[in-house]
Structure 1
């Protein structure tokens, strides 16, 4: 794995059967779809993947399947191994390295929470340690963990104490902080932008890679957006970002997690229902979502 990532990394949905069991047979279809639509990698078992709603065994099985399949489709595989129980997270890290993934990531603990940068670095160091040959990314997502510590001091300390530290997945709206992270030590570390609907902003502060849920099905739109930014075409980039924002708002009206997962079935990749406490869409709701997306022009935007 090179030190810097460029392009779109999809946060794949965890596929379930209709009765809610893990459906690992669908992973190959997901991977083929990503390769076809211009995605360069996957961030497995994160928020979109319903990570903490999976059992420990399911998380291992999911990581192992993606580790086996990802390279067949030219995808980098970053496995999210974080959780509240350090022993389980350490085992997931080791299993991920054994599965030959390209990177691992962990978010902050969300029950008993880290109250200082030093504590958070030590928490993540313990998780990264068993995977001593695999790049480690901190998954910064305060909206879910409610741990909102400054990331530049985290990077300063983590880069000294975690030998495999490779960067951040930055899922936060503070573009000033994202700029500082992207510029840290001359841009040595990856900063992966985490909000799809503000990708233009992330690129404006120097980010060149992103992880997101809508890259599952709208990668062509975002790849065109990234090229527009790189070519200095601000008007096109802004127009495409407006389309992205409109798409996200439509999906949110139907329930973002369930709606996002349902959209995959429109492309022949049935990832099944969401897991409780999330609410899956009923057939009528899926039809209404499709109709709203058609009205928006979504299917033209994402055509390959």
Structure 2
């Protein structure tokens, strides 16, 4: 895994059902824009608002692109058994990698969290990309804990999707095991993540501004760090605006204006108000560099 991966959304039709046709259209569009791969079924996809059947349905839709790009299935769940069911489906469908948030809600111990990953990996014979998103899961990793250290050094772990503003921790995880794949998970810290050794980025806003982030990535790798930072600032202006009105509803709105039938997010998310749409349109006009 390396480069720019879109954390794909889940489009819904007018009846609120998964719109597989729109999902494939979005992925095809992102491929033409230069996406290196796709992260299916994550936070951007409203994963924990989907039924088990719907999560598998999105995997099935995306699997048609498996011979043309790299596919990562997010299979995280609170229950180990449920996560394993998703992992089995992802493997059956030909996904190249699986990823999982740690189990949350019950305050599981570091040992229990580690065993969750060991169990998933053992059953499907695939290493797991740990989806580290403590802001949402409220499940941070303590790198001083022996069980956590053993987990990151084990063959059960492919690497980490580091959706955490603490980039020091990202570097320390790589330090624990230099063989790990490290993908930056917050779009707004991409340049900083690359500076600290990330192999690439997985991002929600890449759904509609992938060319902009591709420019950041290529500009940084070319050695023009000032140019990359200038593009990152513009991207962060957009991210700040998106978050101020609601990230998932905003991404779906913008995609719809660009011709992708994304639908509206699932409740309790609410669609944007007209004033919010006007605000976003202006911010995008001033900052987006998708050409």
What is the TM-score of this pair, normalised by structure 1? Answer: 0.89
Unaligned runs of 5+ in 1: none
Secondary structure of the equivalent of 1:276? coil
Match among 12, 20, 23 for residue 8 of structure 2: 12
Deviation at 1:63, TM superposition (A): 1.1
Regions of 4+ moved over 3 Å: 151-156, 282-288
1:61 aligns with 2:49: no
| Corresponding residue for residue 119 of structure 2 | 126
Deviation at 1:256, TM superposition (A): 1.3
Alignment check: 8 A CA contact 1:257 1:274 kept:
yes
| Corresponding residue for residue 252 of structure 1 | 243
Deviation at 1:159, TM superposition (A): 4.9
Q: Deviations over 1:20-51 (max 9, x none)?
A: 11111112201111111111111111111100
Deviation at 1:130, TM superposition (A): 2.5
1:176 aligns with 2:164: no
Change (3 A) 1:126 1:242: same
Q: Deviations over 1:43-73 (max 9, x none)?
A: 11111110010001111111122122343xx
Change (3 A) 1:292 1:242: closer
| Corresponding residue for residue 218 of structure 2 | 227
Deviation at 1:227, TM superposition (A): 1.9
Alignment check: 8 A CA contact 1:16 1:271 kept:
yes
Deviation at 1:85, TM superposition (A): 1.9
**Which segment is superposed worse, 205-214 or 280-289?**
280-289
Deviation at 1:254, TM superposition (A): 2.2
Deviation at 1:188, TM superposition (A): 1.0
User: In the aligned structure 2, how far is the partner of 1:207 from the partner of 1:160?
Assistant: 17
Unaligned runs of 5+ in 2: none
1:97 aligns with 2:91: yes
Where do 1:184-199 residues align within 5 Å? 184-185=176-177, 187-199=178-190
Deviation at 1:287, TM superposition (A): 4.5
Match among 105, 109, 114 for residue 108 of structure 2: 114
Deviation at 1:244, TM superposition (A): 1.0
Q: How many residues align?
A: 290
CA RMSD of aligned residues (A): 1.9
**Which segment is superposed worse, 260-269 or 29-38?**
260-269
Q: Deviations over 1:112-171 (max 9, x none)?
A: 12232x221101222333321x3411111000110112258666422565x442111111
User: In the aligned structure 1, how far is the partner of 2:274 from the partner of 2:22?
Assistant: 21
Alignment check: 8 A CA contact 1:261 1:272 kept:
yes
Change (3 A) 1:110 1:7: same
Change (3 A) 1:238 1:82: same
